[in-house]
Amino acid sequence: MQWETVIGLEVHAQLATNSKIFSGASTAFGSEPNTQACPIDLGMPGVLPVLNQGAVEMAVRFGLAIDADIAGQSVFARKNYFYPDLPKGYQISQYELPVIGQGQLVIELDDGATKTVGITRAHLEEDAGKSLHEDFHGMTGVDLNRAGTPLLEIVSEPDMRSPREAVAYAKKLRTVVRYLGICDGNMQEGSLRVDVNVSVRPAGQAAFGTRAEIKNVNSFRFLEKAIEFEVERQREIIEDGGTVEQETRLYDPDRGETRSMRTKEEANDYRYFPDPDLLPLEVDTSFIERVRAGLPELPDDKKARFVSDYGLPAYDAGVLTAARELADYYEAVVTAAGGEAKLAANWVMSELGGVLNERGLDITESPVAAEDLGGLIRRIEDQTISGKIAKEVFAAMVAGEGSADAIIEARGLKQITDTSAIEAMIDEVLANNPGQVEQYRNGKTKVLGWFVGQVMKASRGKANPDQVNQLLRDRLDG
């Protein structure tokens, strides 16, 4: 039987505010335990929440970026359950009326085609703290620094049909939130957390199969693997005549499998009700327009502009706009290089990309400043150096030896374009290799390449290769 996979994602994005969603405590990552938990985050008696405007603006930014309905009025509700890292015994979230309604995201598939994935809703809520299970005499330690950090929970429609599509969606979502500056997108630190709903159904069947929700998928690779495993698991169950249970499963990256999180506890009953400590959130047109005015250029728009303005192939434009910092870097290189857009793209993607990759660096940590890389490209363009010499200069730049001009000067790498100087080298090479000259003149013109190599070698790479080529032909044919 042919099976179809149905996938939907619930992504929790930690919003990059300075302070928490309902308190004035800091949201900085990595501080000493409980040093960023104020009485409101600790749920102490009598304290009250007041909503952070920054969190609302970021939610609206996201809403505008996915072309969503933004609710004029939305409501905060309490989700009641007991857990040591949930100080109040309830999480303030949005339930029936979320701030962001229906929207969509366009993703690019492996074959270059695009697909629109629906986003059901996105709502604001507070994060919980963390339980540390290292040994405290057999006890668990609770750190509430993270409690109250604003989260935007982004729920997709069950629109994805393969693990690759799910990964493409998650990657695109990450790109968008990072462009918007609302989330750093760090999956390892948990700034971006992905839960995935997976089900299978016979191809052609309209009704969805029973889904499992998989948690703890903290990289794109694990996302793909977790879905692949889960699809296989469900298919086997059904093919063996069993039924898939609706449940929450945990991905175990060490074993590459998902396992049930089922406990002896009775089914959760969250007893949602509107939080009486908070009033309905109103987002009016002027608020929305103010946020809209501050929106950056979004990845799809930037990519289109890179194709039309810089004449880049769609692939290059896609790579260079995958992160806003990379796109900014690239554009700075183009400016410094005096408009050599395609050459700049090649250098950023292959030479610089290789170095960053090798050293595990982010574009913001590039050892070569965009202006300096642009300066190097300018020297290739004005023929001060050849492309080959440029690689040597670039390596020196990476090693911290200074700007392209300084390195070219210090190492005497300036290209030789003086015709008489090149001719003198050609004459010497021809005089030393009469046999090859003979071959050429007998019609074996392939040796021209060999001669070019010899002349370049004699110039220690500095002669202009085009000139060498032309002058050699003139001499041999003349």
Residues that bind other proteins (CB under 8 A): 17-19, 23-26, 32-40, 42-56, 73, 75-76, 78, 80, 82, 84, 87-90, 131-133, 136, 138-144, 266, 269, 271-282
Q: Give the DSSP letter string of 450-466.
A: HHHHHHHHHTTT-B-HH
Q: How far apart, in whole angstroms, are the C-alpha atoms of residue 350 and residue 269?
A: 54
- Nearer of residues 43 and 339 to other proteins, judged by Cβ: 43
Taking alpha carbons only, the member of 117, 146, 140, 145 closest to residue 9 is 117
- Nearer of residues 4 and 85 to other proteins, judged by Cβ: 85
Amino acid at 454: Q
Query: Cα 380 from chain centroid?
Result: 31
User: In whole angstroms, how close is the CB of 99 to other proteins at the nearest point?
Assistant: 11
- Nearer of residues 24 and 256 to other proteins, judged by Cβ: 24
User: In whole angstroms, how close is the CB of 293 to other proteins at the nearest point?
Assistant: 18
User: In whole angstroms, how close is the CB of 250 to other proteins at the nearest point?
Assistant: 8
- Nearer of residues 273 and 315 to other proteins, judged by Cβ: 273
The torsion region of residue 105 among left (phi > 0), alpha (psi -120 to 50) and beta comes to beta
Place of tokens 């930037």: 302
Q: How far apart, in whole angstroms, are the C-alpha atoms of residue 425 and residue 404?
A: 27
User: In whole angstroms, how close is the CB of 11 to other proteins at the nearest point?
Assistant: 21
User: In whole angstroms, how close is the CB of 245 to other proteins at the nearest point?
Assistant: 19
- Nearer of residues 220 and 270 to other proteins, judged by Cβ: 270
CB 416 within 8 A of CB 462: yes
Q: How far apart, in whole angstroms, are the C-alpha atoms of residue 265 and residue 278?
A: 31
Place of tokens 């703290």: 129
- Nearer of residues 6 and 42 to other proteins, judged by Cβ: 42
- Nearer of residues 140 and 364 to other proteins, judged by Cβ: 140
DSSP code of residue 410: H
Amino acid at 176: V
User: In whole angstroms, how close is the CB of 85 to other proteins at the nearest point?
Assistant: 9
User: In whole angstroms, how close is the CB of 73 to other proteins at the nearest point?
Assistant: 7
DSSP code of residue 296: P
User: In whole angstroms, how close is the CB of 264 to other proteins at the nearest point?
Assistant: 10
Q: How far apart, in whole angstroms, are the C-alpha atoms of residue 264 and residue 476?
A: 90
DSSP code of residue 111: T
Residues in the chain, total:
478
Question: How many CB atoms within 10 Å of residue 28?
Answer: 10
User: In whole angstroms, how close is the CB of 231 to other proteins at the nearest point?
Assistant: 25
- Nearer of residues 60 and 322 to other proteins, judged by Cβ: 60
Taking alpha carbons only, the member of 377, 379, 385, 378 closest to residue 464 is 385
CB 462 within 8 A of CB 415: yes
- Nearer of residues 134 and 240 to other proteins, judged by Cβ: 134
